[in-house]
Amino acid sequence: MGLVYAEIELISVDDMALFSRGYIAEDEIKRVRVSALVDSGSYSLVIPNHIKEQLGLRVLGERMAILANELEVKGTVVGPVEIRFENRRTTVDAVVLADRGEVLLGSVPMEDLDVIIDPKRQKLIVNPDYPYIPLTYAK
């Protein structure tokens, strides 16, 4: 199987809270659409620093991460960030790795989104066995 990418939207949860409380307008919520490498070998959402800055994500701490080449590196944990894919959404913290140039969508957010990798079509799809009815939020 080759590399699989998915178009996802990342949204600042802090901005969503400010909007819901009337402090900012809806068009002021920081969000970005990205093509993420779907990486079932990674646990977390991994983002480059420029995405952290675009979304204005708070630093929550640090943690060690082991890369595919088994090199251990320190990453900065930021968040919270909402991930949207098709009709699915989840809220997670993200790990910022200094030398990462692309977004990685890891197994934990994939599980929470209830999405699967379709190896035949080499794409990420929503789980067809379990329909998802998204919640609607009052504005």
For the segment 39-95, what is each residue's pLDDT rounded down to a tens digit? 988 899 999 999 999 999 999 999 998 877 888 889 999 999 999 999 999 999 999
| Percent of the chain residues topping a pLDDT of 90 | 74
Return the residue matching tokens 């809806």: 26
CATH class of this structure's domain 5-126: mainly beta
> Taking the model in full, what pTM does it have?
0.89
CA distances from 86 to 48, 55, 72, 95, 113 (A): 23, 20, 33, 23, 10
Domain ranges of the chain: 5-126
Phi and psi at residue 53, to the nearest 5°:
-70, -45
